[in-house]
């Protein structure tokens, strides 16, 4: 499977340490099956950093590791669920350099602008977690 990473520079080797804390799945290296999502992230990163040009880096992912027969610890979310929302909030609220979880790979829906708005509504108490998940589904 080909996965994409959008940035303002070419990425030839993954360096987890360059990830930022407080992200949806924790500090890490984010990839997408959706090249359009990677293109959007590349443009956003270039704009935010004010340097470079949007670049899409491609990586081959060996799907056979998802069969559970490796030592790699994987968390997979099939969609927007209460567990997914709690996981996203746990990671977004983690401002330490210590991961809030011990997974090597996390797979699931990303929180785009629409999801971010709904998460803020939940955090501010306008909706409960069940309503959050219902509105995202």
Residue 46 has which token pair?
């270039």
First to last CA, the chain: 26
Residue with tokens 């407080």: 22
Whole-model pTM? 0.82
Q: What is the mean pLDDT of residues 31-36?
A: 93
Q: 5 has which bridge partners?
A: 57
| pLDDT tens-digit series, residues 80-104 | 899 998 999 999 899 888 999 999 9
Mean pLDDT is lowest, of 11-20, 32-41, 62-71, 73-82, for 62-71
Residue 63 has which token pair?
């799907």
Closest-CA residue to 61 (of 111, 102, 104, 112): 104
The conformation of residue 99, written as its DSSP 8-state character, comes to: -
Query: 29-54 burial by CB neighbour count: b if 16+ within 10 A, else e?
Result: ebbbeeeebbbebbeebbeeeeeeeb
| pLDDT tens-digit series, residues 114-133 | 788 888 888 899 999 888 88
Supply the Cα-derived Rg of the chain in whole angstroms.
16
Average pLDDT, the chain: 90
In whole angstroms, give the CA distance from residue 27 to residue 10: 20
């Amino acid at each position: 499977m080909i996965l994409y990473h959008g940035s303002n520079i070419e990425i030839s080797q993954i360096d987890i340490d360059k990830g930022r804390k407080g992200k949806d799945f924790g500090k890490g290296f984010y990839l997408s099956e959706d090249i359009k999502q990677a293109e959007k992230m590349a443009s956003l990163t270039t704009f935010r950093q004010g340097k470079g040009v949007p670049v899409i880096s491609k990586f081959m992912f060996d799907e056979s590791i998802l069969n559970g027969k490796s030592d790699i610890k994987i968390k997979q979310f099939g969609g927007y669920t209460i567990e997914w929302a709690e996981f996203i909030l746990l990671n977004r609220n983690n401002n330490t350099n210590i991961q809030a979880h011990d997974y090597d790979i996390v797979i699931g829906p990303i929180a785009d602008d629409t999801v971010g708005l709904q998460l803020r509504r939940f955090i501010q108490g306008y909706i409960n977690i069940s309503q959050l998940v219902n509105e995202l589904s």
